């Protein structure tokens, strides 16, 4: 239990510092304004463009959550490395955690770049 104490202490900090986990950033207001603009004939988006926007928001949210997991892994790996006390097994474990976290960072960055490119290409191809 003592081993997980720093992680348990980090959970409330993340929940307070990252309010978008609760998705409470005013999506109802934005949806209401978009609906009002469409009803007034001031624009809005077509069904396909709205679907692409929703897919983009979902991908962004998932990549954001994966980024939080990456941050926790980096912090945990650093904590294990700092508290290894010269133990070769703990140092090896910490290096493995940090290496895997860095590989995950590269994968997340590539995924974000590729999805951004694809969604931009799809949006531009559907533009009138």
104 located within any domain: yes
Q: How confident is the model at residue 1 (pLDDT cuts 50, 70, 90)?
A: low
The domain tally of the chain equals 1
Kindly state the DSSP code that residue 128 receives in the 8-state scheme: -
pTM over 0.85: no
Q: Phi and psi (nearest 5°) for 36? A: -65, -40
Per-residue pLDDT tens for 74-109?
999 999 999 998 899 999 999 999 999 999 889 888
Identify the pLDDT of residue 74. Answer: 92
Q: How confident is the model at residue 72 (pLDDT cuts 50, 70, 90)?
A: very high
3 located within any domain: no
Identify the pLDDT of residue 80. Answer: 93
* Domain encompassing residue 122: 67-128
For 63, residues 6+ apart whose C-beta sits below 8 A from its C-beta are: 108, 111, 112, 115
118 located within any domain: yes
Measured between its terminal Cα atoms, the distance across the chain in Å is 59
Identify the pLDDT of residue 28. Answer: 45
3-state secondary structure 5-65: HHHHHHHHHHHHHCHHHHCCCCHHHHHHHHHHHHHCCCCCCCHHHHHHHHHHHHHHHHHHH
- Whether 70 shows a pLDDT value over 50: the answer reads yes
22 located within any domain: no
């Amino acid at each position: 239990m003592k081993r997980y104490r720093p992680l348990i202490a980090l959970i409330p900090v993340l929940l307070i510092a990252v309010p978008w986990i609760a998705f409470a950033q005013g999506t109802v207001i934005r949806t209401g304004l978009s609906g009002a603009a469409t009803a007034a004939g001031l624009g809005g988006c077509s069904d396909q463009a709205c679907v692409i926007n929703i897919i983009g928001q979902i991908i962004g949210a998932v990549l954001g959550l994966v980024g939080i997991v990456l941050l926790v892994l980096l912090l945990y790996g650093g904590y294990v490395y700092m508290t290894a006390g010269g133990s070769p097994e703990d140092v090896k474990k910490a290096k493995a955690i940090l290496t895997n976290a860095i590989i995950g960072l590269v994968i997340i960055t590539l995924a974000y770049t590729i999805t951004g490119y694809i969604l931009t290409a799809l949006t531009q191809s559907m533009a009138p």
